Structure 1
Amino acid sequence: MAMTQSTFEELARLGDRLSDALRLEFIDGKVREKALPDGNHGRIIEWLTRLCVQDDVGWWLYPGQGLRVETYGKGNARPDGLLGPIDTFVGQGEWASAEGVLMVVEVTSYDADTDRRDRVEKPRAYAETGIPVYLLIDRAQGEVRVHSQPGDAGRYDVVITVTFGKTVTLPDPVGLELDTEPLKDWVG
């Protein structure tokens, strides 16, 4: 029997009550555990939040907000950051709609599921959901991948990859120049 989204959300609530160290996601019909962030991971999100707010004071980078993703909202992800206008998630619960999300951010962890989860499954899920920009900060590869223009085939039509130290443009609706030099200090 396949797990439903409502069954997953109930399971995730139970997991949250049992342990602060357990964060679950439901991507591509599979329950996955998401690694807890380390200090450098948190510093990257802090840095990116400051840049986004400096660019537009009406934005906020929401860390850890649960999001309903995939076609017909059948999946649940807990991205490292969701960029949207202030109040995007007001009135929504733990698992919010992607409406109003400008960009989703993932910072890779050093666990066995990173390749499949952050580099394969999540780009497809976020593209299917219609999120305009997916920013992957890949600490293991020392690069930033900017996915944009979600297409009809459940994937982003444009992917730009730069190594840490270069500048990359986060396309509209974000429209921010991102100097990735500081990321070199937070890869460990």
Structure 2
Amino acid sequence: MRLVVALTGSSGVIYGIEILRILRRLDIETHLIISKWGERNIQIETDHPVDFVKSLASKCYSNDNMAAPIASGSFKTDGMVIVPCSMKTLSSISNGYDDNLISRAAGVCIKESRALVIVPRETPLSRIHLHNMIRLAEIGVIVLPAMPGFYHRPKSINDIIAHIVGKILDQFGIEHKVYRRWGDAA
């Protein structure tokens, strides 16, 4: 399996870091793009150096590199996850404004009918945000807001993070035991 992973300038980069950790552990090939503000949020929200986060991926690209393999539909992937997905990035994708590698790679997934999962992290949501999400959902993009459930009785922030990460993995059909599912024994 080969997935594109993007981290953008929204709060919640820990979700993206954790998905990279798990995909690496599962030996899934990852192609990573981090926006400028995604890098800044790694510095603000975590104790991880940006280079450490990049080291979790199989391959990394600059968001300015429009010649990267993932900018072309002829480069086969199983899909893409943008986690967290800023409202700027969401708007760019929704409006087909492929001005950087993240939005271009997402556009490739859309045009090639590949799985695209966006994990918006904003609250409250404006009507503009909602319209952009609806537009994407109507064409098959999975909109998976970072809204954890609590039926698994999280005991820590890591448990809450794991719930969202597990939901993302589910969208790609990746088997995992990242969180306790509804109906599973405690």
The higher relative CO (CA closer than 8 Å, separation ≥ 6) is in 2
> Under a length normalisation based on structure 1, what TM-score does the superposition of the two structures give?
0.39
> Under a length normalisation based on structure 2, what TM-score does the superposition of the two structures give?
0.39
Q: Between Structure 1 and Structure 2, which shows a larger proportion of helix residues? A: 2
Q: Between Structure 1 and Structure 2, which shows a larger proportion of strand residues? A: 1
